[in-house]
Amino acid sequence: MSFFDALVYTLAYFPVISALACIDNPPPMPTTVHELRGQSYMRHRASYAGILHESRRGLVVGH
């Protein structure tokens, strides 16, 4: 490959490399305000449906 061919190849390939870099490395997304809403105990507590009701259920004795 001659020097001229290498130069033409480099100039032709530069837009392709630039486009791929933009696709592979998008700008970071801004954080939303929704993540900051609510009290900390509500944000960090795992939700298990029915746990409180099950823990207060009475025991059946004698059957």
Provide the number of structural domains found in the chain.
Answer: 1
- The predicted model scores a pTM of 0.33
What CA–CA distance (Å, rounded) separates 25 from 19? 10
Is the residue at 60 inside a domain? no
In a domain, 45, yes or no: yes
Mean pLDDT confidence for 39-50: 54
pLDDT of amino acid 62: 72
Instruction: Give the domain extent around 11.
Output: 3-55
The verdict on residue 21 lying in a domain is: yes
Residue 50, class by beta-carbon neighbours within 10 Å (0-12 exposed, 13-18 middle, 19+ buried)? Answer: exposed
- pLDDT at position 32 is 59
pLDDT digits (tens, 9 = 90+) for 2-44: 888 999 998 888 888 888 887 777 777 666 555 555 555 555 5
Q: Is residue 61 part of a domain?
A: no
Q: Render the burial of 5-40: b for 16+ CB within 10 Å, e for the rest.
A: eeeeeeeeeeeeeeeeeeeeeeeeeeeeeeeeeeee
In a domain, 62, yes or no: no
